[in-house]
Amino acid sequence: MMKDIATPVRTKAILEKYGFSFKKSLGQNFLIEPNVLSRIVDHAEVTDKTGVIEIGPGIGALTEQLARRAKKVVAFEIDQRLLPILKETLDPYPNVKVIHQDVLEANLQEAINENFNDCEEIMVVANLPYYVTTPIIMKLLEEKLPLKGIVVMLQKEVADRIAASPSTKEYGSLSIAVQYYTEAKTVMTVPKTVFVPQPNVDSAIIRLLVRDKPIVEVENEEFFFQIIRAGFAQRRKTILNNLVHFLPNGKESKLKIEETLEHVKIDSRRRGETLSIEEFALLSEALDKGLFNK
């Protein structure tokens, strides 16, 4: 068995050999604890039938653990300086392909078509750079890729927001956006001490299992999310206040918005953070269909 990349000694040796220095702008924090990495792979339930997309492989610590269990791993790395390192560290694993590209600009559907035809399921597994966590997760979900799920390490605070329930301080538009598409659960917390360089905050691993269809049915998805963003625009304000101030033509439509809230039996004095996804769906459908005109 090969020596794990993710030990403090081996990581240090690889970085020194290549004279690699961390770029703060890329949010690079490498894991130096093999047990945490294998737990991530466990939570993703990766088998020899799984195709895995990894984002930001770094020096290949997680990639290696994935490659030992998955059928195929396709890793997107934005930092050109890591390519020669990955070429060496992942050399023993012929089932890994590294693509030098910013995942936010990548055509992921195309990558899936090209690489995973012989895989029964596709998972995204990654230690995400903190500064682009949310845009990456939303891209994966909004593009409606044929994924079984997403298991990623991210800032604990963001994981808490994603998995939050109504009427908690963490609950917000991000919670609803992610839970609309997936079942979200934080599966473990990871201390900052197992990273190099050490980040300022603890991390968590979140598992998002993609739903067969969104949790609520809305005809106008774009409008639904617009209502949610407006509902949380100022957390201390009531749902009525927020809709009036943050919807286009909200001020002119105040009476109609009030009538609609009454129609769907939502108290206009409630705050957005107390509304469930189902209530937001009911409200957006009613506003969109203009039930208040009747």
Q: What is the DSSP string of 233-287?
A: SSTTSBHHHHHHHHSTTTTTTHHHHHHHHHHTT--TTSBGGG--HHHHHHHHHHH
Return the bridge partners of 118, or none.
none
Distance CA 67, CA 64 (A): 5
CATH of the domain at 205: 3.40.50.150
Question: What SS3 state is found at 171?
Answer: coil
Q: Is 77 labelled as part of a ligand binding site? A: yes
Do 249 and 200 share a structural domain? no
235 token code pair: 């957390």
Do 270 and 125 share a structural domain? no
Tens of pLDDT along 79-118?
Answer: 999 999 999 999 999 999 999 999 999 999 999 999 999 9
CATH of the domain at 259: 1.10.8.100
pLDDT of residue 147: 98
The answer to whether 257 touches 240, Cβ cutoff 8 Å, is yes
Do 177 and 273 share a structural domain? no
Q: Is 113 labelled as part of a ligand binding site? A: no
b/e code 95-122 from CB counts within 10 Å (16+ = b): bbebeeeebeebebeebbeebbeebebb
Distance CA 86, CA 197 (A): 19
**Average pLDDT rounded to a whole number, residues 153-181:** 96
Distance CA 52, CA 195 (A): 23
Do 237 and 143 share a structural domain? no
For residue 215, being part of any structural domain is answered with: no
Do 204 and 282 share a structural domain? no
Do 121 and 241 share a structural domain? no
**Average pLDDT rounded to a whole number, residues 173-183:** 97
Do 158 and 39 share a structural domain? yes
Tens of pLDDT along 53-80?
Answer: 999 999 999 999 999 999 999 999 999 9
Do 53 and 122 share a structural domain? yes
- Which of 161, 176, 210 corresponds to the end of one domain? 210
Domain that includes residue 247, residue range: 221-293
Q: Is 102 labelled as part of a ligand binding site? A: yes
Q: How many domains does the chain have?
A: 2
Q: Is 127 labelled as part of a ligand binding site? A: yes
pLDDT of residue 1: 55
